[in-house]
Chains A and B, each alone.
Chain A
Amino acid sequence: MKPTDTSNPEYFHKVVDCQYACPAHTPVPEYIRLIAAGRYADAYMINWESNVFPGILGRTCDRPCEPACRRGRVEDKPVAICRLKRVCADMKDDIRSRLPKIPKEKNGLRIALIGAGPSALTVARDLMPLGYTIDLFEAAPKAGGFMRQQIPSFRLPEEVIDEETGYILDMGVNAHFNTRIESMKALIEDGYDAVFVGTGAPTGRNLKLPGYEEQTQNSVFIGVEWLAQVAFGHLTEAPRDVIVIGGGNTAMDCCRTALRLGAENVKVLIRTPIDAMVASPWEIEDTRAEGIPILENHSPLEYIVENGQLKGMSFEIIEYSMTEDGKEVFTPTGQLETIPCSMVLLAIGQANAFPWIERDLGIEFNDNGLAKVDDITFQSTLPKVFFGGDAAFGPRNIITAVAQGHAAALSIDLFLKGKDLEERPAPGTNLVSQKMGIHDWSYASMVTEEHRHAVPHVDLDKAIHSHKVEVELGFDAKTAFEEAQRCLNCDVETVFSANKCIECDACIDICPVDCLTFTDNEEEAALRKKLNVPAHNLSQPLFVSTEVGTGRIMVKDEDVCLHCGLCAERCPTSAWDMQKFLYIQTKAFNAESNQANPTQAEIQ
């Protein structure tokens, strides 16, 4: 193998599994250390720079970071990263003085944002400090989009949404609520220099089976619309018997909300087996903990309606299988089942629709009804129009919408400055030794064997009687500290200098997880087999040094390295050193001066 080029920031970036997996590349270990130090506001600001909604995401994020967490490969469970994020939002003090200053003098360029969801608000957050004038249009009465309308209050209290959307609106965004944009053409003719479409994926899919037209009592709802009505207080109760169809997170939100609005007999029906459900495992767990049954392999057939009233729904039991190329096959068994109910909530996916974008403006559309959007610049085929969030590539999640908002904001800024959108600025990086003394590091290098801490919940009795009572209580300071200590500090990188190595084997002898090997060089596949413990996890890279004195190479399998620093501690020549790697993605607001440490500079 060729020696690893650690000067390429992507190598060390990938070692920080959580940050790498995060669509917004939030520097996770950096803020977790600050939480452990009790510096909640500092931790909050690091989050805020990257993901804009730490309090919201600390409750609702899809947390791609957690399955990626190295701790999950070393023991059973990853660090509770998401809930630690919530801790910094819960425990910070007033951070408003630390928000960016907005220039009083504007630069004369006007930008329209359509929708007030996570992606559009991110664009506003990134561009307001640069002096742009921003008009925001939102059909609903308040900001937040999906976050406010479709996530129930028992998971995400309104105050948190108000606070974090408020930070952005208070930058001086001209927000027009209750204003639905009916024509893109009119907007463009209004003279905006750029338009950002962040309208989300507002419509859920309907299911018009036999009987659908006969029910006249309005008892079949599209789940996301029903959730929005509950969120805005238009619906305050649910009938006794409720069926939810679908196996995603929206279905889980629907059934738990119905329970809180008075339903007594709520069932979730899904076409697949339970282990093929798309809902997050923790959402399924919480749903079942509330006593809601999930009936698998049920394919809906018909709404049973008597005199215009919904009485139940009939299903056919199917057999579920997968073809070799991974396609789902549903084989009817002929066995039928009728389940009585007086309300059906459909949570079978979301669909996009842009009836308000005229098709002759130069914005091209795909077959699936979405605009053609560049997946790096988020520019449409009409140069001044950008898309982001669920409006760009269909339903994803909040953190992806934020990441796309950052990318689109950067593109808009480049576009309005007449620069090439394809030339994305490099990330800011910083690599600093953590050595404090001969055997002393500036981070908690000792690896705790504590298991993951569960987040305490309110009493089930209290929880299910109101959809406004937040179910999760969040960690207290002590638990947060203990959970934070579980972080392995993967951003404190093991940096090797082959020219200093005397091949004494001290690092190899001490390494608790046997991830180091001196060996003769070979091709990667052969090398992986001959390491002290063979490196079977191909998703994790090998570090390969240049030749040491005897002509051998040092190979490190990154897979289960604990970042405990013992290799560097036992190294007599400092050929190994522990160096903190900070990787800050370049965004519109720091494109000019990304020092990889803008928040740290502020903190000092």
Chain B
Amino acid sequence: MSYKIPGFRHPNLPKNELGYTTKDYEGAVSTLCAGCGHDSISAAIIEACFEMSIQPHRVAKLSGIGCSSKTPTYFLGNSHGFNSVHGRMPSVATGANMANRNMLYVGISGDGDTASIGMGQFVHAVRRNVNMVYICENNGVYGLTKGQDSATTDIGSKSKKGEPNALEPINLCAIALQLGATFVANSFSGDKSQLVPIIKAAIAHQGFSFINVISPCVTFNNVVSSTKSYDYIRQHMASTNSVDYVPPASEITTEYEPGTTERVTMHDGSVISLHKLDPNLDIHSRRSALEMIYEYSAQDKVLTGVLFIDPDADEIHKTMNTTTTPLRNLTEKELCPGAAALETINELHR
């Protein structure tokens, strides 16, 4: 087994604005099962960060426990990382974000880490609108513990060695919408042409960006009886829209029929250009997004694409009026303003 990837790259590999190639965004060789959807998501993150010319040292990768949570080792090898306790990634991400708002926080989690043990953590990160990208690599199975059904397994879905699941699945996109997530998308690991621009849009978004990525487990859940297999998703996938991420101050080149394209301008001046495939979805309406999710679900279809964006919502720092300076840069003088300042504060509460 190869633990190392050869050092040679294609001599014509393109370079980004920083002069980096995708090699500079790679991590260690994956130790996940061959063919795991999670590896494709890692590759999509590498591609998105490369294309956006993100400085690797400005990124923090955070994860919990599970197959999904191993993946930050396999991308952005030159970035910061924190592998937390099972399900506790949202707290660590929130804390890190409070300490230094100038980083890009990429949280990686799975359906077990998010929808079971970490559910309480997840919902609070959502409602606080922590400025981060939260990717849930959702395969509907507990891969690391040999293939038990997870909380996102659909009713009737049967894994390789399991029984048909009898319990109601948690729809993470729906929950995120209900709790006030300001960017919600659903995608598929096997469709990078959709996933890469969605990740770029999520990075550009200021606030909590949730991407649920259906990511087949080749070892335990890529069978005909499963609703999260490569074949099932390919046959049942429906796109609400196709997404183009247009960087700040660059020309929009993709042309669609008038009236079918919606452009959302983000805080940094970039534009998310959404080519609507279903005119019934209003991506500025939570209710519309929720209705569409259930509508498609009733037709046995998996709705993918960007489902909801609120580019103007206040992220947590704005709501709490916190300092823009990273905590590590604050001196004793600012952190301990003295008895007089304390007295003033105490006065306010008498």
Alpha-carbon distance A397/B218, docked complex (angstroms): 55
The reply to whether the CB of A337 lies closer than 8 angstroms to some CB of chain B is: no
Answer yes or no: A458 CB below 8 A from chain B CBs: no
Chain A residue with the shortest CB-CB distance to B46: A509
| Interface residue? A163 (CB, 8 A) | no
Secondary structure at chain B's binding surface: helix, strand, loop or mixed?
loop
Q: Given A439-B1, A562-B6, are A570 and B39 also a contact pair (CB < 8 Å)?
A: yes
Q: At the interface, is chain A mostly helix, strand, loop or mixed?
A: loop
CA distance A510 to B38 in the complex (A): 12
Q: Are A536 and B35 in contact (CB under 8 A)?
A: no
- Asked if A513 is at the interface of the complex by the 8 Å CB criterion, the answer is yes
Q: Residues of B at under 8 Å CB distance from A?
A: 1-2, 4-14, 22, 29-30, 33-37, 39-40, 42-43, 189-190, 192, 216, 218, 222, 230-231, 234
| CB-CB under 8 A for A447 and B6, given A439-B1, A504-B216, A506-B36 | yes
Inter-chain contacts of A604 with B (CB < 8 A): none
Question: Closest chain B residue to A440 by CB distance?
Answer: B1
C-alpha gap A569/B4 in the complex (Å): 12
Interface check A143, CB cutoff 8 A = no
15 pairs from A and B in contact (CB 8 Å cutoff): A74-B11, A439-B2, A446-B6, A502-B35, A502-B230, A504-B37, A506-B34, A506-B39, A514-B22, A549-B234, A564-B5, A572-B34, A572-B35, A572-B222, A573-B35
User: Would you give the 0/1 interface string for A546-572, flagging 1 where the beta carbon is closer than 8 Å to chain B?
Assistant: 000110000000001010111001111
In the complex where A505-B190, A549-B231, A569-B2 touch, is A74 in contact with B35 (Cβ < 8 A)? no
Residues of B contacting A74 in the complex (Cβ-Cβ under 8 angstroms):
8, 11
* Distance A565 CA – B5 CA, assembled complex (angstroms): 10
Instruction: Say yes or no: is A186 at the interface (Cβ < 8 Å to chain B).
Output: no
Are the CB atoms of A505 and B10 closer together than 8 Å? no
Given contacts A439-B1, A570-B35, A572-B35, contact A503 B190 (CB under 8 A): yes
Complex CA–CA separation, A534 to B35 (angstroms): 25
B181 to A: closest C-beta gap in Å: 27
User: Which residues of chain B are within 8 angstroms of A439 by Cβ–Cβ distance?
Assistant: 1-2, 34
Contact across chains for B40 and A505 when beta carbons are under 8 A apart: yes
Indicate the member of B5, B35, B192, B230 with the most A CB atoms within 10 Å. B35
Given A447-B6, A569-B34, A572-B218, residue A533 in contact with residue B13 (CB < 8 A): yes
Cα-based distance from A269 to B234 in the complex (angstroms): 70
Which chain A residues numbered 432 to 453 have a C-beta less than 8 Å away from chain B?
A: 438-440, 445-447, 449
Q: Which of A564-587 contact B (CB under 8 A)?
A: 564-566, 569-573
Answer yes or no: A515 CB below 8 A from chain B CBs.
yes
A237 at interface, CB cutoff 8 A? no
The docked-state distance in angstroms from the alpha carbon of A566 to that of B37 is: 17
Contacts of B40 in A (CB 8 A): 504-506, 509
Enumerate chain B residues within 8 angstroms of A374, measured Cβ to Cβ: none
Chain B residues contacting A572 (CB-CB under 8 Å) are: 33-35, 218, 222
* Interface check A529, CB cutoff 8 A: no
In the assembly, what is the distance between CA of A514 and CA of B33, in Å? 21
Closest to B26 in A: A512
B43 touches A564 (CB 8 A): no
Q: Are B230 and A504 in contact (CB under 8 A)?
A: yes
Q: Is the CB of B35 within 8 A of A506?
A: yes
Q: How far is the CA of A503 from the CA of B40 in the complex (A)?
A: 11
Enumerate chain B residues within 8 angstroms of A73, measured Cβ to Cβ.
Answer: 11
- Tell me which of A503, A566, A570 contacts B230 (CB under 8 A): A503
